[in-house]
Chains A and B, each alone.
Chain A
C-alpha cells in the first residue's frame, strides 16, 4: 500500500503478459459459455453437427457483440477510474461513485423514452454523454482537485441521488407503460441480448475517448509532484481537467447508454493494479483499461452462472465484488476522512 516501500521505477515485468492473457482467456470463455457451451474449435472446423447453424448464429449475433461490449464498457470504466483517481489524487474517485454513470444513464433515459432516438439514433449516446459530462462538471464544482475524500464522496452521493431521482421521475413521466419497470436496467446494468447495433453505438466514442485518456499518462505523472511543479513543467491544469471531463464524459456516457449503470469497476481495477505499477498514477492508466475489460468479462460470465436459474444483473455482480473493497478502502482512509 505504501509507495515508499517500493523503488519508484519498478513496474512488474509480467503485468502486461498476465493482463493480456487473462483478458483473451475471459473473452474466449465468454464466447464459449452460456445457455449451451459452444464448441468453438468444432464450429471452426465444420464438425459441430446438426446444430452448427444455430450455434454459429448465437456466436456471431449474441455472444460476440456481448463480449466486445464487455471489453468496451469494462475498459472504459477501468480507464476512467484510473484517470479520475490520478487527477483528483483520491483513491475513491470513479465514474460510478462520483455519479458520472448515473448522470449518463439519466441523459440516455431522457433521449430514449421521450422519442429523441426515434428521430435521431445518435441521440441515445449523445444523451448519455451530455449527462455524464454535466455530472462530472458538477462534481468538480462541488469538490475540485485536492478535496478531501469525504468531500468528494459526499459530492458523489449528492450527484448520484439527484441523477437517480431524476431518472425515476423521467421513467414515471415517460409515455411508455414499460418505462417504470425498466429502471432496474438503468440502475444495475446488463449486457444480456445486446447486438452489434449497440457495439456500433459505443465504438466511435470509445475510439475518440480512449486515446485522449491514454495520453493523460504524463500529465498525471507530473501531477504527483504537486500542482505547482506540474504547471512549471508546462502542464496546464485547467486544460488537463477539461480533457478529463470531456474524455470521461464521451466514453462513460456512451457506454452507460447501452449497458446501464455498472458500478465499482473503476474503483476496483486501479486499486488492484496500483501495487504492480509502482504506485505511479500515470503508469496505472493503460493497464486499467485491460484490467477493466477483464473484470467486466469475468463479471458478465458470473451473471450467466446457472446457480440461481435466473440471469443476474451485471451491476449486482460488480457491486457484490466491489462493495467489500470500497468498505475496506473506507476503513483504511477513516483517519483521513475524519
Chain B
C-alpha cells in the first residue's frame, strides 16, 4: 500500500527511463538518415536540389549547372564546387547521398553503390503529377518536406491559374525541337501544350513520347501555332541548320510562333510554369488574331 504512490512515480520514472535511450536513438537515427553532404551528378537533379536544399548541404553540382547555356540556375550554382559526374571525383567528396539521373548514369551509379555510397536515382517525370510526386519524395528523403510542400503548392496554384484546357477553341500546335524532334502527349511539354489549350500535331501523327517531325509533315499539318525550341547555345552544329530551311522560314513567317528556351523545360521542375505562361500568351495572340483577321502577324 505504502509503496503505491512511490510505486507509481517509480514506475513512471522507470518507464521514462526505459524509453529515453530509445527515443534518443530514434532521434539520432532520423538525423543520421537525413543526408547532410549531398552531391548531384545530373543537371536536372542539380536544379531541383538548388531549389529545395539549403546551400550548405549541397556540396557539389555538375559543371553543367554552372554553364549559363545549359542551366537556368547558373547564377545560383556559382561558388558551388562542380563535378563531371565521374565516380572518382564523387568518392573524394565523401557524400552521404548522391543524386543521379535514372537513365544516363547507370555505370557510375552501380560503381558508387558498390563502394557503399547511397545513391538516389531520379526518374524523368512524364507528367506534372509525376513531377509533384518526385518533389514530394525528394523532400521527405532530404528532410526538407516543408520547402518541398511550399514549392509544390505554388506550382499547383500557377498550373491552375494558367489552365486553358477548357477553352472551346483549340488551335493546332506543332512542337519543333532542335534536330527536328517533337514530343507527344506522354511528355511534360505535351501536357503543357494541352494545359495551354492546344492540340498537338505529334498526337495526330501518333507520336506518344518522342519522335522526329519531318519538315513535310510539319508543313502538311498546317499548324496554327509553331513552338520552336530555342537553344541558348549558338555553337555551330547540324542541329541549328534545320531552322534555316527556306520552307520552315516561310511557314514561321506566317504562323504564330512561341520560342521556348530549352533551359526552361529540358529539366522537370516547378519552373515549368514559365514555358506554360509563354504558351498561354501565344494562344491568346492566336485567338486575338482570329477576331481581328486584318492584323498582320509578325514573327518574333
Which A residues fall within an 8 A CB radius of B?
34-36, 51, 54, 57-58, 61-63, 112-115, 117-118, 174-179, 181-182, 185, 192-193, 195-197, 309-311
Q: Are B206 and A309 neighbours in the complex by a CB distance under 8 Å?
A: yes
Q: What are 6 contact pairs spanning A and B, CB under 8 A?
A: A62-B215, A112-B238, A176-B235, A193-B215, A193-B242, A197-B246
Q: Are A58 and B247 neighbours in the complex by a CB distance under 8 Å?
A: yes
B6 — which chain A residues lie within 8 A by C-beta? Answer: none
A305 to chain B, nearest CB (A): 13
Q: Is B217 an interface residue (CB 8 A)?
A: yes
B226 to chain A, nearest CB (A): 14
A61 to chain B, nearest CB (A): 4
Nearest-neighbor residue (CB-CB) of B262 within chain A = A177
* Alpha-carbon distance between A195 and B215 when the two chains are bound, in angstroms: 11
* Alpha-carbon distance between A269 and B216 when the two chains are bound, in angstroms: 30
Q: Are B233 and A58 neighbours in the complex by a CB distance under 8 Å?
A: no
Q: Are A176 and B237 neighbours in the complex by a CB distance under 8 Å?
A: yes
Which B residues fall within an 8 A CB radius of A?
69-70, 178-180, 206, 211-212, 214-217, 219-220, 222, 231, 233, 235-239, 242, 244-247, 250
Q: Are A177 and B238 neighbours in the complex by a CB distance under 8 Å?
A: no
B83 to chain A, nearest CB (A): 18
A112 — which chain B residues lie within 8 A by C-beta? Answer: 236-238
A115 — which chain B residues lie within 8 A by C-beta? Answer: 235-236
* Alpha-carbon distance between A208 and B215 when the two chains are bound, in angstroms: 32
Please tell me which one of the listed residues A35, A61, A178, A185 contacts residue B217 in the complex, with CB atoms under 8 A apart.
A35
Q: Which of A51, A175, A176, A181 has the most CB of B within 10 A?
A: A176
B250 — which chain A residues lie within 8 A by C-beta? Answer: 57, 61
B220 — which chain A residues lie within 8 A by C-beta? Answer: 35-36, 51, 54, 58
A185 — which chain B residues lie within 8 A by C-beta? Answer: 238
Q: Are A35 and B214 neighbours in the complex by a CB distance under 8 Å?
A: yes
B209 to chain A, nearest CB (A): 13
Nearest-neighbor residue (CB-CB) of A36 within chain B = B220
* Alpha-carbon distance between A175 and B245 when the two chains are bound, in angstroms: 23
Q: Are A193 and B237 neighbours in the complex by a CB distance under 8 Å?
A: no
Please tell me which one of the listed residues A51, A113, A192, A196 contacts residue B246 in the complex, with CB atoms under 8 A apart.
A196
A54 — which chain B residues lie within 8 A by C-beta? Answer: 219-220, 222
